Structure 1
Amino acid sequence: MLAGTTLLAVAVTLAAANLRISVTSLSSVLGDVQRGLTATSAWASAVTAAPSICFGLAALVSPWLARRLGGGPAIAGALALLAAGLVVRVLAGPALLLGGTLVACAGIAVCNVLVPVVVKESFPTKVGLVTGIYSSSMAAGSAVAAAVTPPLATASGGWRPALAAWAIPAALALAVWLIGARRATDVVAGDQVHGGRRNLLRVPMAWVFTLLFAAQSIYAYVIMGWLPEILRDAGIDRDAAGVLLGITMVVAVPLNLVVPHFAARLRSQSWVMIGLTVMPVVGVLGLMLAPATVPLAWALLLGAGMTIFPVVLTMMALRTRTSAETTQLSGMSQGFGYLIAAGGPFLAGLVHGWLGSWTVPLILVLGVLAAQATLGAVIGRPRHI
C-alpha cells in the first residue's frame, strides 16, 4: 500500500492533470486537423469516440495489471504510454493520429482505474477531499489544454507542434510519480485482490454503477469532443470556442474540491446526483435554442455538470467494503461504461454530418442526462453493493 504522503498527493495531482489533455487539446483544433489531413467527418467522429473505446478496453485489464506489476509501476507505465502517444499522433497522417490517440488513451485508462484506488488505500480518512483534488486537477488540466492549444497552434506554426507540446506535462507527471511512489510495491496487494473476490457481473448494483458511468461519460465526451465545433457552427471563432471549452472544464475545479467531500459526508447522495444533472440540462437546452446568445452561461452550466464524475468515483469507494471491491467495481464500471459511452460522441458526429445540424444530437444528450438522474438517484441510496 502507498503511504499517504504529501509527495504522493502531488504525484496524484499531476497525474490527474494529464488525464484529459489528449481529448480537449485535440477537440479545440479538430476542425483544423480534419482539414489539414483532408479527413472525412466519419474519421472525426472516430477520433472523438476513440478515447471512450480505449478507456473501456484498457480499464478491463487494469486490475490484472495491478496484480501482476503492482499499482505503482502500472501507473508509471501508463504515464509513459500517455507521453509517447501524444508525440506519435502528430508525426504523420490520419491513421497514425488515430493510433497515437489510442495509445495515449490506453495510458489514461489505466490511471483512471488505479489512481482512485491509490486514493482509497493511501488516504482512507480523506477519500472525498483527495478525490476532489484529483478531479479538480483533471478539470484544470483539460481546461488549460482546451484554451491554450488554438493560440499555441497559431504561435508555433500549426496544430502538430501545439498538440505535441502536451507530452511535456505528461513526462513531468511521470517523473514525479516515480519519485513519489518509489517505495510502493503495490497499490492493491495481490492477496487483497484475490481474497474475497466476488463476481460483480452478477451484482445488479454493479451494473447500475456501470450504466451511470456510461451516461455521465456520454455527456462528458460529447461536450469535450464537439463543443468547439458546435460553437463554431454557431458563428463563434476558433480561439473563442477553445476558450469556452476551457471555461466549461475549469468551472468544475472549485466544485470538484467541495462537492465530493460534501457528498461523502451525507447518508444519501441521491439529491446531489439529481441536482448535478439539472444544470447541464439547462446548458444543453441553451446550446440547442440560442448557442451564440450567451455562450459563457451555457459553458458554465455545462461545466457544472462535469462535477458528477468525482462524485461517482467517491461513491465507488463508499459503496464497497474493501479496496479489492473498489478496484473490481472501478474496472467493471469504467470498462463496460466507457465502451457503451463510445457510441455517444461517434453517433453525435455522424448524425451532425448527415443532418447538418446539432439539434438531434443534443436531444439525445438530454435523454442521456435523464437516465443519469434516474440511475444516480438509485446509486445515491446508502448501501454496500
Structure 2
Amino acid sequence: MTTTPGTENPRTGPGLDVLALVCLIFIASSLRPAASSLGPVLAEVQAAFGLAEWQTGLLTALPGLIFAGCGFLAVPLLRRAGLFASLALSCALIAVGIGARVLVDSSLAFSVLTVTALAGMSLGNVILPVFVKTRFPHRTHLGATTFTVSLGLGAMFPAFLTAPLAEHFDDWRVGLGAWVLVPLAALASWIVLRAAGSVPVLPRPSRDPQQAPAPRRHIHSTAKARYMAMFFGLQSVNAYVQFGWLPQIYRDAGLDPVAAGVMLTIVTLGGLPGGFLAPQIIMRGLAPRFFLVSFSVSAVAGYLGLLLAPASAPVLWAVLLSYGGFAFPAALALITSRTRAVSITARTSAFVQSTGYILAALGPLAVGALLGVSGSWTPPLILLIVVSALMGLTGYLSAAPGTVDDELAEAG
C-alpha cells in the first residue's frame, strides 16, 4: 500500500482501486454538464424566459463568474470539512442545481439554480486534483488521465445528446434535466468509497507537527503560477464561449439545431484524446512547449474558418477547435506536474483556476455584448482569434521547467 506523505492511509487493493477510479470518473464527469448542456438549447431557453442578448450573454458567462468566485472557497472548505465532505457537498450542489432548474418558470430562479450547480462544480474543480494526488500518489499518470478524460466525457455527452433529447420529448427541460443522473451517481459511489475506508484523510496542519511550514509567499507571487493562471483563463474563455455560443454561431450560419449540436460535440470530443495525450505530454516532458503552441495555432485556424466561411466546411472548423481544446487537460496537468507538495498543489489549483476563470467569465460577456452591439459574429470571432494567440504565448511560458515549490523556496 502506498500513500502521499501528510495523509492518513486509505484502504487499497484491486477492488478498492477500481472503485476509486469509478468515483473519480463520475465526479469528474459531473463537473461540466450544467455548462455544456445549455448551448444546444440556448435559443429555446432564451425564448422560454424572454431573455435579451445581454441576459443570454450573462447566462453563458455564469460558469466563469462562479468558478472564479467559489474556487477561492475550496481550499478553506477542504481544510475545515475534509476531503470526503467537501466532494460530497460538491456533488450534492450539482445535483440540486441541475435537477431543480428545469422545474422553475422564472429566469431568476433558473439562474440561481444554475449558480448552485456551478458552485458545486467550482468546488470539485479545485478539490478533485487533491484526491487524484493523494489517492493515486505513485500512479499520478493514471489518475490525471482518468480525471481529464472524464471531464471530456462530461462535456461531450451533454453537448451531443441534449438537443436530440429535447427534440425527442419536444421539451428542452428534459434535455437539460437528464444530466442530474451523473452527480447522483457520483455522490452514491463516493459514499460507498468512504464506507469502504478508501477515501484519504487530510490531517489538519496543527495536528501534523512533522509537516514542513507553508511557504511565506502567496502562490500568486510566483511567475509560473501567474503564467499558468493566464493560460488556464485564456483556454477557458475559448471553452465557455464554445459551450454557450458555438451552436448558435452554426445555427446562424444555416445549420439546423441538431447539426449545430453535433458541431459542438465534435469540439468537446477532443476532450477524450486530449485527456489521454495532454497529461502524458506535460507530465513526461514530451516537448510540452511545442504542443501548447500548436493548440493555439489550431484554435486560431478554426475561428478564422468560422469567420470567413462558417458553412462551407463546418466539420473542419470544429475539428480544429477540438484540437485547440487539448489546452484544457494540458492546463490541468500543469497544475499537477509543476507542483510537488499536496498543500502547494491545492493552493496552486485554487489560484490558477479561480484567477483563470475571472478571465473566462469575461469571454461570454464580451461575446454577448459585441453581438448585441454589432449584430454580427465578426467582432466576437476576431476577439476569439486574439484570445487564442495569447493562449499560445502564455502556454509557452507556463511549460518552462521548474515547479511552483521551487520558486517559493527560492524566495523564502
Q: TM-score, normalised by structure 2?
A: 0.89
RMSD: 1.8
Residues 188, 324 of structure 1: 8 Å contact kept: no
Structural mapping, 1:155-194, within 5 Å: 155-182=168-195, 183=197, 186=200, 188-191=202-205
Report the counterpart of residue 142 of structure 1 in structure 2. 155
Specify the code of the residue in structure 1 equivalent to 2:375.
G
| Contact 1:77/1:107 (<8 A) preserved | yes
Partner of 1:111: 124
CA displacement at 1:257 relative to structure 2: 0.9
TM-fit CA distance, 1:52: 0.7
Alignment of 1:338 with 2:357, yes or no, is yes
Alignment of 1:1-385 (within 5 A): 1=7, 2=10, 5-90=17-102, 91-182=104-195, 183=197, 186=200, 188-191=202-205, 195-198=213-216, 199-266=218-285, 269-385=288-404
Greater mean alpha carbon deviation, residues 243-252 or residues 183-192: 183-192
Q: Which amino acid aligns with 2:155?
A: S
Letter of the 1:106 counterpart? A
Q: Which residue of 1 aligns with 2:407?
A: none
Residues 116 and 284 (structure 1), Cα distance of their counterparts in 2 relative to 1, 3 Å cut: same
| Whole-angstrom distance in 2 between the partners of 1:242 and 1:194 | 50
Task: Give how far 1:204 is off.
Answer: 2.6
The percent identity for this pair of structures is 33
8 A Cα contact 1:188 1:323, kept in partner? no
CA distance in structure 1 between the partners assigned to 2:202 and 2:137 by the alignment:
13
In structure 2, what is the Cα distance between the partners aligned to 1:290 and 1:364?
A: 17
1:134-185: per-residue Cα shift (whole Å, max 9, x none)? 1111112221111111121122231112211111122111111211244256
Letter in 1 for 2:106: G
SS in structure 2 of the partner of residue 165 of structure 1: helix
Displacement after TM superposition at 1:263 (Å): 2.5
Q: TM-score, normalised by structure 1?
A: 0.95
Q: Counterpart amino acid of 2:34?
A: S
Return the alpha-carbon distance in structure 2 between the equivalents of residues 335 and 194 of structure 1.
26
| Maintained 8 Å contact 2:135/2:200 | no
Structure 1 99/136 Cα, relative in aligned 2: closer, same or farther at 3 Å? same
Q: Is the 8 A contact 1:263 1:272 kept in 2?
A: no
- Tell me how far apart the structure 1 counterparts of residues 131 and 265 of structure 2 sit (CA, whole Å): 28
Determine the C-alpha separation between the residues in 2 that align with 1:185 and 1:266.
30
Q: Conserved in 2, the CA contact under 8 Å of 1:268 and 1:382? A: no
| AA at the equivalent of 1:180 | L
Deviation per CA, 1:88-111: give whole Å up to 9, x if none: 212221111111111000000111
Give aligned pairs, total: 385
Contact 1:67–1:190 under 8 Å retained in 2: yes
The one-letter amino acid paired with 2:114 is: T
* Conservation of the 8 A alpha-carbon contact between 1:28 and 1:150: yes
Counterpart AA for 1:382: P
Q: What CA distance in whole angstroms lies between the structure 1 residues aligned with 2:249 and 2:298?
A: 19
Does the 8 Å contact 1:279/1:301 carry over to 2?
yes
Distance 2:307 2:300 in 1: 11
CA distance in 2, matches of 1:78, 1:197: 28
Aligned to 2:409: none
Q: Which runs of 4+ in 1 moved over 6 A?
A: none
CA distance in 2, matches of 1:227, 1:359: 13
Are the structure 2 counterparts of residues 189 and 97 from structure 1 closer, same or farther at C-alpha, using a change threshold of 3 Å? same
2:182 aligned partner, one-letter code? P
Residue 197 (structure 1) shift = 4.3
Residue range with higher mean Cα deviation, 21-30 or 161-170? 161-170
Higher-Rg structure is 2
The letter for the 2-side match of 1:47 is L
Distance 1:382 1:207, change over 3 A: same
Q: Structure 2 regions of 5+ residues with no counterpart?
A: 1-6, 405-412
- On the 8 A contact 1:83/1:171 being kept in 2, the answer is yes
